Homo-oligomer: A and B are copies of this chain.
Amino acid sequence: MGKTNLDLIRECDNFPYHEDNRAAYTETLNNYHAFRVNGFDATLGYILNSVVEKFPWPKSYWVIDSGAKTVTLNTPADATPEYRSKLVAESISEAVKADVFEVLRGWRNENYPVWGPGGQLILDMERCASPLFGIVSYGAHMTCYVQDEAGFKFWIPRRAKNKQTYPSMLDNTVAGGMCTNEKPFECIVREAMEEASLPESSIRSAIRPVGCVTYSHIRDARAGGETGLSQPEVEYVYDLKLEPKVIPKPGDNEVEEFNLLTVQEVQDALARGEFKPNCSVVIIDFFVRHGLLTPENDPDYLDILSRLHRRLEYPLASHC
């Protein structure tokens, strides 16, 4: 018996829901400290207790409150994002020197933003440190497909064997993380060129923004590094219908190969758990929007629809 669509979503959106099970929610939350920044009335992420213990927090600007279970960057309320980012970078650099976290060995040299209430940028930090702070991360995923009388076929890549995270698993055609100041659409165009060698001139006007998926993920061993880290995510979702003659090709060393799979082949691979968890979720969203997954063919339809769009309890990005 393979995994159901709801099983796949639960693997990705695996932080308990308060309304389903208050005890499980509270017990899970107790594993974390809230990450806060002075001047902002919001939890910006959840830091695993074991990370709070091991992280070499510089005492001059971090306040750890074990009773309230908070870790607060104690910068002046009118500090600039640049100043806050500098102190956080300094702190992460101390942790790298001490070599206390596996995830920090995978340095990316890309910065991820932390958003405050009202779509305000509070600070940014090195990408590989983001799951230590449990901040919301943002990405863009695109499904490239061909469509003829026989139905849909999907261009599905297999991740490189030597990728840090989820090696050899199946992926969405194009996917990437969004750095500070990057807009979702520009991110997906850049990634389409870099990862799938698709020519900008022909795809820019054909890429269709079709929504997003949101989920609250607790990392397991497949993500690499420490397990139990909280990683809430927003993935902006795009569709791109390709002419049969257009063939995506690996443009960097992140993808091993692209294959054109039928709906049935994709469904079978999903049921076998071959897709990276958040990529399953993006494909399920495609199936819903294109009438392949319906109220009449999946008993969990309504739960699936809501969980594809979890309401995240953090301030979120605004890109206008």
- Residue on B with the closest CB to A118? B299
Partner of A288, one of B210, B296, B308: B210
A212 & B320 in contact (Cβ 8 Å cutoff): no
Partner of A290, one of B119, B208, B295, B300: B208
> Does more than half of chain A's interface fall in helix, strand or loop, or is it mixed?
loop
Please report which residues of chain A, range 272-320, place their CB below 8 angstroms from some CB of chain B when the two chains form the complex: 288-291, 294-303, 305-313, 316-320
Contact partners of A18 in chain B: CB under 8 A? 18-19
B319 & A295 in contact (Cβ 8 Å cutoff): yes
Copies in the complex: 2
Chain B nearest CB, measured from A306 CB (Å) = 4
Q: Is A185 an interface residue (CB 8 A)?
A: yes
Number of interface residues of A (CB under 8 A): 43
Q: Is A225 an interface residue (CB 8 A)?
A: no
Chain B nearest CB, measured from A267 CB (Å) = 16
- Residue on B with the closest CB to A136? B302
Contact partners of A289 in chain B: CB under 8 A? 210-211, 289
B212 & A301 in contact (Cβ 8 Å cutoff): yes
Partner of A320, one of B209, B236, B299, B313: B299
Contact partners of A316 in chain B: CB under 8 A? 302-303
Partner of A305, one of B185, B211, B295, B317: B211
Chain A to chain B contacts (Cβ below 8 Å), 10 pairs? A119-B299, A185-B295, A211-B289, A212-B295, A212-B302, A212-B305, A296-B320, A299-B320, A307-B311, A308-B309
